[in-house]
Amino acid sequence: MKNILSTVTKAVAVAAVASTVSFAGPGMADGGAKFLGNITTRGQVQSDFGTYWNQITAENECKWASIEGSRGRYNWSGCDACYNWAKKNGGHFKFHALVWGSQYPNWLNGLSTEETKKAITAWFDAVAEHYPDLEMIDVVNEAIKSGGSYHSGYGKNNNIIPALGGDNGNYEFVATAFKMARERWPKAILIYNDYNTFRWQINEGIDLVNKLVKQGAPVDAYGQQAHDLTDMNESEFKSALNKIQTSVKNAKGEPMPLYITEYDIGTDNDSQQKQRYSEQIPAFWESKQVAGITLWGYVYGATWTTNGNSGIIKNGQDRPAMTWLKDYFKNHLADGKNETGLADASTYVPPEPIARKMFKGSAFEIPGKIEAEDFDISGRGETDGVSNVSYNEGDDENHGDAKDYRKDTTGVDLYKKATGVVVGYNSEGDWLEYTVNVKEAGDYTFFAAVAAAGSTSSFQMSLDGKELTDKISVPAASAGEDNYDDYNKVKANVTLPAGKHILRMTVTGAWFDVDYFTFVSGKDATDPEPIDEPIDEPIDDPHGVISLDQHMNVNRVQDYYVIDPMGMRMGVLSAYGFEAATEILKNSSVVKSSGVYYLRNRWTGEMRSIRVVR
């Protein structure tokens, strides 16, 4: 083993001259601009680990269930083995993970919100006491929400989400976890970690991290598990990497550092595995925005993929991908770039709050009319305890044709139709907020001009975070499968307090368009702008909350081949069961056309057909 002190001294000297970070330690990347790491093998640190790697992550040994299987009783032995290896060998250790909807202790199931909050707080405190000097932490793992469900089992027999402050569309519970982590580890690098983020849910991942930053959550880096790259060609891969690097911003508005956290190429095809390594590893190593690379296993037969086929050492012999990897780092170590500023201490700087602004310059007066497209201009963080984030949109693309009406939004879909401009393509979980000024406290009648092609669309109004109405169903168009031009009026009686408030419209059932809202003094008041015949009574939602039958395997992510209607394999996505995979597929921007697609489990071979409508 090399003299660590000598290597560190040289690395610091190089860093001072080149203004870059040099990670010293054992392994192939010794002295490089960033680390090249790996994980434990069957719960153990292999004797040859330091021959290849200079960063370690415990595959399972640092997860909550592994450490606190019985409440209040902690077994740190497996996690300690990784932590101590890094300390003794000049390597780097990442704690994986504090909050995850899977592999949490069974005793957490069924606890009340208050008891869950106490348990999470005690868990954070215990980790902080045992490891006060952590360098890197996966604070939250797998929380992307799509199609009404999260990547892992958040909310499935547990109260993790409400215990950490809930989720009103901005992943507030995730932001809370990061704030808790920063209080306990002021110098650690705090990472958000997730899967399917290169291909199937690239937009959702970008959206999540950007929402956290807007709330002032101390996120230092975005972790890409990178399990979805086996079937991704070089052009698509580089395009996706570029999109992530240019779309995710830190609190300063600069590109956020990335970590490749769980890289693997699961295939028995040696040629394909080597090809993907040769296409992708250099892109990561030579990217100034990637702060480190961790492979998710290296011993064939001992990794999580089918038959452990992501391993690059088989029966003690290097597979071609490993031979290539050794050669690359021998000849291209100096090609590594790292301008992230992330070394042994976080460079996180709490952002200054940016107050929301009213789109028209002043609050909307009630009684009066509010154009749906004139929601507040979003800010950042909080001002006087009120969030400055003024909208939530499920994707970052404006599908509408009124792109010039507003330049301050990301993805809210504006269309030129009805009485001018409308907000369309509303999906479940989207919301918009408006600053209003209620002239007098009392009863009012609320009207909304809305249009929907189907009968499952609905929304709900709230004021300062409190429900103002029940769910209000949007009537379906009288004719036409894709008719969003048949506008109707819906109404509800509401009681409002006087003064300035934040009014929110939350989409509870997709899909519909909304043109404007009107508040008229008094109960059951007359609509000043009726469309055909006004609706006389408030409409109750006959559909209730949309629910999904999701029997997810909360213990293990599984891989599914995606096959298009022509029988061509599109790639591999990861999910906790068929139901979750179905929701990911249906909501993925990768799928452009309607038709019958197929999912086949890589392990069991089971196949299911999925009808996708676009």
Q: Which residues are catalytic?
A: 142, 262
d(CA 418, CA 151): 38
Burial 299-334 (b: 16+ CB within 10 A, else e): bbebbbbeebbbbbbbeeeebbbbebbeebbeeebe
Residue 568 makes CB contacts below 8 A (sequence gap 6+) with: none
Burial label for 186, CB within 10 Å (0-12, 13-18, 19+), is: exposed
Q: C-alpha distances in angstroms, 219 versus 202, 204, 208?
A: 18, 17, 11
| Residue ranges with strand state E in 407-512 | 413-417, 420-424, 431-438, 442-451, 458-463, 466-467, 472-473, 488-496, 499-509
The H or E element spanning position 180 is helix 172-184
As a three-state string, the secondary structure of 122-175 is HHHHHHHHHCCCCCEEEEEECCCEECCEECCCCCCCCCHHHHCCCCCCCCHHHH
Beta bridge partners, 95, equal: 137
Token digits of residue 503: 């009014």
Q: C-alpha distances in angstroms, 435 versus 147, 406, 514?
A: 29, 17, 18
Q: 575: number of CA atoms within 13 Å, CB side?
A: 29
Task: Give the 3-state secondary structure percentages of the chain, helix then strand then coil, rounded to 5.
Answer: 25, 30, 45
- Candidates 441, 445, 443, 437; CA nearest to 497 is 441
Whether omega for the bond prior to residue 97 falls within 30 degrees of 0, making it cis, is: yes
3-state secondary structure of 239: helix
138 with 96: CB under 8 angstroms?
Answer: yes
Beta bridge partners, 445, equal: 493, 520
Token digits of residue 535: 């609706």
DSSP state letters, 90-114: T-EEEEEEEEESSS--GGGTT--HH
Q: Which amino acid is residue 454, in one-letter code?
A: G
Q: Which amino acid is residue 254, in one-letter code?
A: E
Token digits of residue 299: 């011993």
- Candidates 1, 9, 94; CA nearest to 55 is 94
Chain Cα centroid distance, residue 479: 38
3-state secondary structure of 439: coil
Classify the C-alpha dihedral 127-128-132-135 as positive or negative: positive
| Residue ranges with strand state E in 175-226 | 189-194, 221-224
The angle that helices 172-184 and 202-214 make with each other, rounded to 10 degrees, is 60
